[in-house]
């Protein structure tokens, strides 16, 4: 078992121990409803044909249709997709949206594919997984390496095969074809709302020093919104470049540059005084108030958890902290707001998008953001009610979120019963 799946399993079993979950329920919840693997050919621009491997995994559907992103990355593996599908089940339950958990991915490096190769790969993969997805069955969304354009191609492929437009088949689509206002920023915005709630009694996020690892749809947006909210974003990083400025980095300008097709390297080249380059590890061990790991899984491990100097970690990525690191951070009194709560804003607005698609309605951005704030705030207080901030480390927010997730899924399974 790869470390990422081991982390997901250990988190589940820790919660299962605390709520004394019976063995057959543990067996059910550590199993996967559907594991779909497909090898499929794509015609490349140079005339050759290349075979790619992809996955779609359903973890559990007790609470509703299954939901989760599609990842295009060269490090995709079946164990990773299983772990991410399981986390989706708990995440949807923690924010109480009526979905089960799924995830998918294709092993590829999207940066090396031309636009037409990317489109052909997306369309063929969609066609391969079409039998197990559907607007009432399993609704994909963007994740690492995928975006609104890729969702548009998925929606079109599925719709063409059915013979009519089915906007509810994916979320995270462009707004012009039924996407939701606010979906692009939703994960970072949801993270900000949770953080604002967490720090409300201590003066909010204004003037807090922050370090953000990852500068994509989660980290980039979070850094930008934190800047706008008055935090001092001292560190940012993308896969190639890590930057620091003691007075704070203009993350709005950096994000606008990256959105226009640049990288943090080219931004620094154009604005050499905006920041200084530092080592990637410095971003994780920065002496700041808040650390936001928003890149990939398993970046906080037993090897560096002892060096973390932030007082608070809020997880933008899925599974950035291994179980060993969790134990070390908890022991050291570092407060951690877990992924299944902190980054659930994405799937929450995905739910709003799906509802709008089913009703052929269009909500305003104000309405989306207000509903998002309500859902994230309720979920945060629900977690905190299980794990008071003054519990003296007896219970972490990760454990509390995991209990809520597992309990809600178990309740659904028990109410529905086992078929036949």
Residue pair 313/211 in contact (Cβ under 8 Å)? The answer is no
**Which is nearest to 277 in space by CA: 224, 236, 221?**
236
- Toward ligand GLU, which CB reaches closer, 100 or 346? 346
Shortest distance (Å) from residue 347 CB to ligand GLU: 4
Strand order in the sheet with 100-107: 34-43, 49-60, 100-107, 66-73, 138-142
Shortest separation between residue 66's beta carbon and ligand GLU, angstroms: 9
Closer of 183 and 198 to ligand GLU (Cβ) = 183
Query: Smallest gap, in angstroms, from Cβ of residue 182 to ligand GLU?
Result: 13
- Three-state DSSP class for 211? strand
- Please state the closest distance from residue 231 (CB atom) to ligand GLU, in A: 23
Name the residue number minimizing CB distance to ligand GLU: 69
The catalytic residue among 82, 103, 173, 224 is: 103
Catalog residues that contact ligand GLU under the rule CB under 6 A.
Answer: 67-69, 141, 143, 171, 318, 343, 346-347, 350
Contact call for residues 165 and 159 (beta carbons, < 8 A): yes
CA 149 to chain centre: 18
Yes or no: say if 193 and 372 are a contact pair by the CB < 8 Å rule: yes
Q: Which is nearer to ligand GLU, 211 or 343 (CB)?
A: 343
> 235 vs 363, which CB is nearer to ligand GLU?
363
Nearer to ligand GLU, 143 or 156 (CB): 143
67 is catalytic: no
CB of 271 to ligand GLU, least distance (A): 31
* Residue in 217, 81, 82, 99 with CA at minimum distance from that of residue 149: 217
Report the relative pairing of strands 66-73 and 100-107 from DSSP bridges: parallel
123 Cβ neighbours under 8 A, 6+ residues apart: 153, 154, 156, 157
User: Dihedral of the CA atoms 213, 320, 396, 330 (nearest 10)?
Assistant: -80
Residues annotated as catalytic are: 103
């Amino acid at each position: 078992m790869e470390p990422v799946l081991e982390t997901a399993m250990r988190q589940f079993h820790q919660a299962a121990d605390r709520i004394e979950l019976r063995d057959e329920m543990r067996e059910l919840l550590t199993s996967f409803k559907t594991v779909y693997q497909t090898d499929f050919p794509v015609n490349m621009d140079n005339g050759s044909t290349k075979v790619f491997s992809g996955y779609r995994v359903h973890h559990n559907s007790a609470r509703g249709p299954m939901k989760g992103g599609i990842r295009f990355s060269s490090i995709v593996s079946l164990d990773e997709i299983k772990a991410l599908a399981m986390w989706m089940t708990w995440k949807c339950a923690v924010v109480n949206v009526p979905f089960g958990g799924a995830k998918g991915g294709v092993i590829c490096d999207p940066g090396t594919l031309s636009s037409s190769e990317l489109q052909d790969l997306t369309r063929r993969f969609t066609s391969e997984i079409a039998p197990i997805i559907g607007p009432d069955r399993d609704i994909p969304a963007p994740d690492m390496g995928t975006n609104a354009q890729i969702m548009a191609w998925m929606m079109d492929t599925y719709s063409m095969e059915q013979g009519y437009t089915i906007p509810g088949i994916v979320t995270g689509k462009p707004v012009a074809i039924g996407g939701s206002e606010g979906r692009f920023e939703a994960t970072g915005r949801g993270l900000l709302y949770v953080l604002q709630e967490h720090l409300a009694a201590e003066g909010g996020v204004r003037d807090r020093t922050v370090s953000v690892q990852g500068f994509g749809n989660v980290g980039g947006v979070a850094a930008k919104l934190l800047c706008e909210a008055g935090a001092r974003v001292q560190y940012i990083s993308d896969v190639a470049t890590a930057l620091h400025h003691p007075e704070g980095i203009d993350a709005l300008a950096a994000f606008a540059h990256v959105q226009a097709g640049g990288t943090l390297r080219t931004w620094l080249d154009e604005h050499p005084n905006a920041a200084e380059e530092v080592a990637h590890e410095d971003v994780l061990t920065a002496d700041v108030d808040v650390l936001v790991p928003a890149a990939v899984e398993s970046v906080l491990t037993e090897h560096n958890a002892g060096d973390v100097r932030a007082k608070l970690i809020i997880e933008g990525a899925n599974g950035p902290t291994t179980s060993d690191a969790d134990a070390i951070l908890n022991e050291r009194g570092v407060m951690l707001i877990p992924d299944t709560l902190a980054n659930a804003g994405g799937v929450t607005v995905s739910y709003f998008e799906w509802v709008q698609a089913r009703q052929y309605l269009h909500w305003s951005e104000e309405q989306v953001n207000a509903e998002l704030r309500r859902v994230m705030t309720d979920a945060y207080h629900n977690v905190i009610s299980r794990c008071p901030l003054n519990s003296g480390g007896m219970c972490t927010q990760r454990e509390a979120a995991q209990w809520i997730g597992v309990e809600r899924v178990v309740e659904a399974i028990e109410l529905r019963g086992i078929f036949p």
